[in-house]
Structure 1
Amino acid sequence: MNEILAVVVTYNRKDMLVKCIDSLRKQTYSDFDILIVDNNSTDGTDETIKPYLSTTVKYHKLSENIGGAGGFNYGMRYSVENDYKYCWVMDDDTLPLENALSELVKADEVLDKNYGVLSSVVLWTDGKECKMNRQKLKKDFYEDVDLLKNGLIRFEQATFVSLFVPTKTIQKVGLPIKEFFIWGDDIEYTRRVAVRKQMNSYIVGKSQVIHAMDSNKGSSIATDNENRINRYNHAFRNENFLYRKEGLKGFIYYFSKCGINCIRVLRSEQSKKMNRLWIIFKNLFLGFFFNPRIETIERTKYDSK
């Protein structure tokens, strides 16, 4: 069995999923398995990917849509329970460049396996930075200046678009919070690793992927289309939990962020301003009652470096 499991979470995007699988199959480092976690798609995904399935490409269709957070929880749990040493997670619209995984493996060796998680550089379809997936650097990253020659720089938060996670990290910090459903699960998880558990985590500059989103505008309740604003109920509720876990400083940041978003909504030219403001204020309050449990999981046989 291979030591690395690539976990791809998908929902009703069979054509994009096929492109993701094709990109994975073109990796220069080929010693890895693939697990497709399907959030109960209804677009014929199961039939579309049948030709791709093999002993190294597995497909699990869930009985219900448990969101991206639930899908990553499922896939990372599977990686631990099935004795993989590493879990490489991504969305179905992630297209890794051919050396994306090989560079992650090289970084693992350079760091002597002593890190929390690794994150690839995420580009949009035009080859420029994907704004939604910009990592937040550690302010003291320069303490590792010797690693810059290897294209490595420390961060404190990243997304699940090409995150390389040793299963020993999952054993130490637990799984993504499935109750988040969508939005913020990756920020919470990477901050749990890099900030709360203080496990040094790195951007791998030579590992690059394309995030084939429809646009590269990022996300904002102030500017997003009105048919998407209900999704921000998850965003503001989840962030309440996330930053409460980081004490007074974290809560002040969250409260300030809510205020800034209110100002942006008022200044925006988009419709339904009251609905947008209500989502922010409602979840600023209700978020205090959102207290999901962080699931832990038993150790695998890989209990050393």
Structure 2
Amino acid sequence: MTALAALVVTFNRRAQLERTVARLLEGPLDRLVVVDNGSEDGSRDWLAAHPDPRLTVILPPENGGGARGFEIGMRETVARFDPDWIVLMDDDARPEPGALAHFAALDHGADVVAGAVRYPSGAICDMNRPWINPFWQAGTFLRTAMGGGREAFHLGPDAYEGPHLRDIHGASFVGLFLSRKAIRDGGYPDGRFFIYGDDVHYTLGLTARGLRSVFAPGLRFEHDCATLGADRIFRPLWKTYYHHRNLWHVYRRAAGPVFFGGVMALMLPKWLMKGRTLGPEERRIYRALIRLAIRDAARGKMDRPHAEIMARARHIA
């Protein structure tokens, strides 16, 4: 019988966490590992008092963001329990009723399986759409280069209908099932990313190593989230630094040495001109964070303290 563990990373979202834990423990789950990144909203006390023996709580010594949480959580889950599969999600995401049973019965023949993630309204969650690397497929590359943008290489609404599996190159850490083989051969995500891009970088690496990833539209998850404002600006502004620094590394892995220089020659001017809709002070901070992200990415610097990023987001000289 296949052993399945779930891994949830949480920080100060107790109400969401309670819903996610309850939903997971309703299903055929052998282990539930929750990494709490220093919550101060009662989450830790609630987790400590939870009676289900399947629940294991990990308390890192400092908040390393979602990326470090997933790295630590995966390492600890493998070391302690060695399950056949691990399914990943944020604290504000959860499987729909019956999803775990659906996975147990699914004939997929893959090493990585990505679920269909929707908002509670039923609309497709754009940030969690699986994708095809345009640099690995000529047709996808041409559609992207001709102005197709994200729609050219992310799965569209048609992929979410019907029972058919789709081969993919990458997916998010919401509703992502990883086999023991995938983790053994592909290793662990890079916790230095802090937030954003760690899932894209990691899953692309799995595919590059020859591991098969598929999208299963009948494997449904919900994600009760909001990240970007109407102006497409990350809030709080400090998130801007991580998004652009990490995107540099994602592009480098996706494009490879042949195309990376050309990609960044196109992207950097766009990044540096962002924030036109912001007020003068916010625009100054926003663009300074982007410039810092570019400098650090180009130097391979991944250890700038989070406290410094927070301070720079408030007071950039």
TM-score (norm 1): 0.81
2:293 alignment partner, SS class: helix
Change (3 A) 1:259 1:202: farther
Query: 2:98 aligned with 1:89, yes or no?
Result: no
Structure 2: which amino acid aligns with 1:210? E
Cα distance between partner residues in 2 of 1:138 and 1:238: 17
Counterpart of 2:241 (choices 220, 223, 233) is: 233
Structure 2: which amino acid aligns with 1:120? G
TM-score (norm 2): 0.78
Query: 2:170 aligned with 1:170, yes or no?
Result: no
Deviation at 1:269, TM superposition (A): 5.2
Cα distance between partner residues in 2 of 1:33 and 1:279: 40
Are the equivalent residues in 2 in contact too, given 1:2–1:31 (CA < 8 A)?
Answer: no
2:262 alignment partner, SS class: helix
Runs of 5+ unmatched residues, structure 1 = 143-147, 294-305
2:237 alignment partner, SS class: helix
1:256 alignment partner, SS class: helix
Deviation at 1:69, TM superposition (A): 0.6
Corresponding pairs, count: 276
Q: Alpha carbon RMSD of aligned pairs, Å?
A: 2.8
Structure 2: which amino acid aligns with 1:181? F
1:157 alignment partner, SS class: coil
1:143-162 → structure 2 map (5 Å cutoff): 150-162=163-175
Counterpart of 2:210 (choices 185, 198, 216) is: 198
Cα distance between partner residues in 2 of 1:66 and 1:24: 24
Are the equivalent residues in 2 in contact too, given 1:222–1:276 (CA < 8 A)?
Answer: no
Counterpart of 2:128 (choices 117, 123, 133) is: 133
Runs of 5+ unmatched residues, structure 2 = 140-160, 304-317
Structure 2: which amino acid aligns with 1:166? S
Cα distance between partner residues in 2 of 1:34 and 1:224: 34
Are the equivalent residues in 2 in contact too, given 1:157–1:190 (CA < 8 A)?
Answer: yes
Are the equivalent residues in 2 in contact too, given 1:241–1:288 (CA < 8 A)?
Answer: no
2:127 alignment partner, SS class: helix
Are the equivalent residues in 2 in contact too, given 1:158–1:186 (CA < 8 A)?
Answer: yes
1:229 alignment partner, SS class: coil
Deviation at 1:149, TM superposition (A): 6.9
Are the equivalent residues in 2 in contact too, given 1:221–1:276 (CA < 8 A)?
Answer: no
2:201 alignment partner, SS class: helix
Structure 2: which amino acid aligns with 1:191? L
Are the equivalent residues in 1 in contact too, given 2:118–2:221 (CA < 8 A)?
Answer: yes
Change (3 A) 1:31 1:92: closer
Cα distance between partner residues in 1 of 2:83 and 2:31: 9
1:208-219 → structure 2 map (5 Å cutoff): 208-213=220-225, 215=226, 219=228
Corresponding residue for 1:277? Answer: 287
2:169 alignment partner, SS class: strand
1:240-279 → structure 2 map (5 Å cutoff): 240-245=248-253, 246-266=256-276, 268=277, 272-279=282-289
Corresponding residue for 2:232? Answer: 223
1:41 alignment partner, SS class: coil
Which one scores higher on RCO, CA 8 angstroms, separation ≥ 6?
1
Change (3 A) 1:75 1:100: same
Cα distance between partner residues in 1 of 2:211 and 2:35: 27
